[in-house]
Amino acid sequence: MKHLVDAWALLTRSERWRAFAVMVLTLFGAAAEALGIGLVFPFISLLGDPGPIVANPLFQTVYAASGAPSLEKFVLIGAVALIGVYVAKNLFLGFLYFMQARFVCGVEARLGTDLLAMYLRSPYVARLQRNSTEQLRMITAEVGRATAGFILPVVALLTEGLVVLAIAILLFAVQPKVTLAALCFVGVTGWVLQRGFKRKLGEEREARSRSNIDMFKWAGQGMGALKEMKVLGREDHFVSGFARSSAIYARATGIFNAISLLPRLVVETLAITVLLSLVALALATEQRMDQLLPMLTLFGLAAARIMPSTARIVGATSTIRYYASSVAAVAADLTQADPQAARTPGAHGTRPRRAFERLELANVFFRYPGAADDGLKGVTLAIRRGEMVAVVGRSGSGKTTLGDTILGLLAPQRGSVRINGAEVASLHDEWPGLCALVPQDFFLLDDTVRRNVAFGIPDEAIDDARVWQALRAARVEARVQRLPEGLDSLVGERGAMLSGGERQRLSIARALYDAPDILVLDEATSALDPSTESEILDTLESLAGSTTVVLITHRLAAAQKCGRIILMQAGAVVRDGPTAGADMGQVLDALVETDSASRATRA
């Protein structure tokens, strides 16, 4: 029941109304199934022994209304009408099954979209606490299991349960004692089966869930580190790790599939047993054979319809238990977030731009979740329009944390952020498009130059003039013009068709597409050779004056290009002033990562 409540909570208001409509249609479907079987009984009785039927007042009224000249003609009309009933019934049931599948698939598509939207729109600090591979697995795997593996079986359970109930009521009206005995027999057997498989299904469900997480991690890590892995020759490590997890997953899934097939065999045996027991009981009570035929036909048709329904009920129950954890996982992720985060678009780019003059941090403190110490400790500084500022310090000194705070990715836990002297609660909401980032590990789409520069913008909204302007500012316009397809040229996976410097320039062009006031580069030149780094720094220097450039770096050449150096140590600013007056020995100590590197650099 808890998981049913979780599944119901996953539905939107409109989906709940659609679920109610599907349930109403399911009730009509169950009634149609019982009607189809129920009409066969008088028809077969009329063929076998018409006397009692003909004497019935209701039959006489229907017979007169039909206008049939003889009983034989009436039977023919009845046969055609019965065919029509079955055709109409099955057309309706086909429509019902389509509506059920459409409903469940629609929920699956919406849940996947909501999860992705929630992950992308959640505060950046939440991203630091969750593995992206796990989030990808939730979207691509667990959502499908929660819907196709839980909600759809619940719908099937409801559908087949109502069918069995409707047919059982019909049989009970004809043969109450036999029907009651058969239902008790089938019910007890089904309960025993469920109890017997419950523990095993629970064990295999846990094994499947754990191994599936491991499979995603092994595959994601292997493909993500493909270049280093191949150079080191470590392919077998990732392949064997994935193979172990995959084998556990296959075993758990195989056991589940085998258990799911057993109910059909058991139900088939039960149905034949009940039907033949009915014959034996009738013969034992010396019932006439001609009277036995209609009842046997009725029970035979009922058994033929109930058999697959009962098998699906038992199978659906097992499936529901097996995939219940997926519902709990999806529900936990969606209910822990802001309920509007998944359904409201971000505010970026929706408000008019204003003139930027300076950004200030006033006594800012920030600590990462689970960390023992503050990442920023009372940081106070001001960055003005057009400056080119270097932020330096050893690893762990707080450089990137400071950059993320300037970008608005991290919100101060104490202190404030001010723009033009006015405190802001959210940079993204109140100053959309103010900042842009060029990260160390930038991500290029396996797509065209145009879509890489106009990142995340629909094709119809891309302004080619702005694309060329950004490429020109990043000093890569000439290279793109020489490409065979120009802006439509593909850059390859991770920009494989471009050199390292060209990829870096393309990432700068992406950051400049929206004409930001502040451009933050986090170790953006660390992987470049000195010549290429010098070219990139010249590009950045040309931007200074119109754009504020904040360069987080551990490279001396990059720091010396800036007019101002901010030195970080243990989360605090220990120096903030012009490059010209800086103690380069102190700065150099901050730029290197080890004493040996420091000595080598000094030498």
The string of pLDDT tens digits covering residues 437-478 is 888 777 788 888 888 888 888 888 889 999 998 888 888 888
* Distance separating alpha carbons of residues 456 and 474, to the nearest angstrom: 19
Angle formed by the axes of helices 289-336 and 235-284, to 10°?
150
- 513: pLDDT strictly greater than 80: yes
- 600: pLDDT strictly greater than 60: no
Q: Residue 347 falls within a domain, yes or no? A: no
CA 318 to chain CA mean position, Å: 24
Count CB-CB contacts under 10 A for residue 470. 23
| Tokens read off for 116 | 């992705």
Residue 437 contacts residue 520 (beta carbons within 8 Å): yes
Same domain? For 328 and 476 the reply is no
- 253: pLDDT strictly greater than 70: yes
Same domain? For 325 and 364 the reply is no
Closest CA to 462 of 472, 476, 452: 452
- Rank 254-263, 457-466, 552-561 by mean pLDDT and report only the highest: 457-466
| Tokens read off for 601 | 């650099």
Q: Residue 154 falls within a domain, yes or no? A: yes
Closest CA to 399 of 423, 365, 376, 426: 376
Same domain? For 413 and 317 the reply is no
| Confidence tier at 17 by pLDDT (50, 70, 90) | very high
Same domain? For 459 and 317 the reply is no
Same domain? For 320 and 366 the reply is no
Query: In the prediction, which pLDDT does 304 show?
Result: 64
Q: Specify the DSSP class assigned to residue 138.
A: I
- 115: pLDDT strictly greater than 80: yes
Closest CA to 327 of 592, 145, 454: 145
Query: In the prediction, which pLDDT does 391 show?
Result: 92
Q: Residue 225 falls within a domain, yes or no? A: yes
Helix (H, G, I), strand (E, B) or coil at 518: strand
The set of residues, in sequence order, having a beta carbon less than 8 Å from that of 282 and lying 6+ positions away, is 292, 295
| Tokens read off for 453 | 């520069």
Query: In the prediction, which pLDDT does 581 show?
Result: 61
Query: In the prediction, which pLDDT does 596 show?
Result: 40
Distances (CA, A) of 59 to 43, 63, 70, 81, 505: 11, 6, 13, 15, 88
* Distance separating alpha carbons of residues 418 and 430, to the nearest angstrom: 11
Query: In the prediction, which pLDDT does 418 show?
Result: 92
Work out the angle at residue 122's Cα, subtended by the Cα atoms of residues 120 and 127, and round it to the nearest 5 degrees: 80
- Structure-model confidence comparison of residues 140 and 383, the more confident one: 383
Count CB-CB contacts under 10 A for residue 304. 12
Same domain? For 295 and 419 the reply is no
| Count of residues in the chain | 603
Query: In the prediction, which pLDDT does 33 show?
Result: 82
- What's the pLDDT tens digit per position in 310-332? 767 777 777 787 788 888 888 88
- What's the pLDDT tens digit per position in 159-177? 888 887 887 787 777 767 6
* Distance separating alpha carbons of residues 152 and 158, to the nearest angstrom: 10
Q: Residue 346 falls within a domain, yes or no? A: no
End residue of a domain, out of 279, 306, 336 = 336
Over residues 124-148, mean pLDDT: 78
Q: Residue 350 falls within a domain, yes or no? A: no
Q: Residue 318 falls within a domain, yes or no? A: yes
Count CB-CB contacts under 10 A for residue 421. 8
- What's the pLDDT tens digit per position in 516-551? 899 998 887 776 677 777 877 887 888 777 889 999
Same domain? For 308 and 423 the reply is no
Same domain? For 317 and 451 the reply is no
Task: List the CATH number of the domain containing 394.
Answer: 3.40.50.300
Q: Which range is least confidently modeled, 40-49, 444-453, 498-507? A: 40-49
Residue 417 contacts residue 359 (beta carbons within 8 Å): yes
Q: Residue 351 falls within a domain, yes or no? A: no
- The overall longest dimension of the chain from CA atoms, in Å, is 118
Over residues 550-577, mean pLDDT: 87
Q: Residue 343 falls within a domain, yes or no? A: no
Task: List the CATH number of the domain containing 120.
Answer: 1.20.1560.10
Tracing tokens 């003139």 back to the chain, one arrives at 355
Count CB-CB contacts under 10 A for residue 448. 18
Which uninterrupted H or E stretch holds 229?
Answer: helix 226-232
By CB atoms closer than 10 A (0-12, 13-18, 19+), residue 30 is buried
Residue 11 contacts residue 146 (beta carbons within 8 Å): no
Same domain? For 193 and 310 the reply is yes
Q: Which range is least confidently modeled, 367-371, 482-486, 543-547? A: 543-547
End residue of a domain, out of 302, 336, 370 = 336
As for how many domains the chain has, the answer is: 2
- What's the pLDDT tens digit per position in 405-433? 998 888 899 999 999 988 888 888 888 88
Same domain? For 88 and 233 the reply is yes
Same domain? For 463 and 515 the reply is yes
Domain region containing 439? 358-602
Which uninterrupted H or E stretch holds 586?
Answer: helix 584-591
Q: What are phi and psi of 19, to 5 degrees?
A: -65, -40
Average pLDDT of the chain is 78
Same domain? For 332 and 369 the reply is no
Query: In the prediction, which pLDDT does 551 show?
Result: 92
Query: In the prediction, which pLDDT does 395 show?
Result: 83
| Confidence tier at 493 by pLDDT (50, 70, 90) | low
* Distance separating alpha carbons of residues 453 and 467, to the nearest angstrom: 6
Q: What are phi and psi of 424, to 5 degrees?
A: -120, 140
- 252: pLDDT strictly greater than 50: yes
- 18: pLDDT strictly greater than 80: yes
What whole-number percentage of the chain has pLDDT above 90? Answer: 10
Query: In the prediction, which pLDDT does 351 show?
Result: 46
Query: In the prediction, which pLDDT does 345 show?
Result: 47
Up-side HSE of residue 394: CA atoms within 13 Å toward CB? 12
Q: What is the three-state SS of 75-121?
A: HHHHHHHHHHHHHHHHHHHHHHHHHHHHHHHHHHHHHHHHHHHHHHH
Q: What is the three-state SS of 56-83?
A: CHHHHHHHHHHCCCCHHHHHHHHHHHHH
| Tokens read off for 502 | 């060209």
Over residues 559-575, mean pLDDT: 89
